[in-house]
Amino acid sequence: MIGPRSPCALRMPGGGAGGRRPGRDAHCLDADKYENDPELEKIRKERNYSWMDIITICKDKLPNYEEKIKTFYEEHLHLDDEIRYILDGSGYFDVRDKEDRWIRIFMEKGDMITLPAGIYHRFTLDEKNYVKAMRLFVGDPVWTAYNRPADHFEARGQYLEFLAQTA
């Protein structure tokens, strides 16, 4: 079992997972120029990421920090893709593979990942206890997380079909 803040088991952005890659895609960008980055703008335009904000997760910046950290680490899914771009700091996304095993994805400055709708996942900080991330959405943001079990949602069924087709 992967515990919070355990060392990275897998580095996915820019790499892959030897056939176990659960996410749709990942990019490595220059986070120092995110405000005027043509590559980021190209991705946003191609994917219709029309809404974004920036969240800083650390004790001094995030209200209800301890509660939020626990919520982020609860295994859950969303009905929309989850797109995160790390602008500073680092942390881990844990996702489930086809056999329902955890895969740990280390995310650091410059990494952008898209977790597909319906994938069970969770997030935690590493030992530095700090990350600043851009959150991107197609249209208005939807923040609802559905804790496991949530297999009855159409998004979950579609994700499982996608996994079956990639076998």
The answer to whether position 124 is within a domain reads yes
The answer to whether position 148 is within a domain reads yes
Number of structural domains found in the chain: 1
Per-residue pLDDT tens for 53-105? Answer: 999 999 999 999 999 999 999 999 999 999 999 999 999 999 998 899 999 99
CATH number, domain with residue 145: 2.60.120.10
User: Is 78 part of any known ligand binding site?
Assistant: yes
User: Is 152 part of any known ligand binding site?
Assistant: no
Per-residue pLDDT tens for 11-42? Answer: 443 333 333 345 558 999 999 999 999 999 99
The answer to whether position 9 is within a domain reads no
Mention every residue, 6+ apart, whose C-beta is less than 8 A from residue 43: 27, 49, 112
Q: How many CB atoms lie within 10 A of CB 109?
A: 18
pLDDT value at residue 166: 84
User: Is 121 part of any known ligand binding site?
Assistant: yes
The answer to whether position 53 is within a domain reads yes
Model-level pTM?
0.87
**Identity at 118, one-letter amino acid code:** G
Range of the domain at 42: 26-166
pLDDT value at residue 22: 52
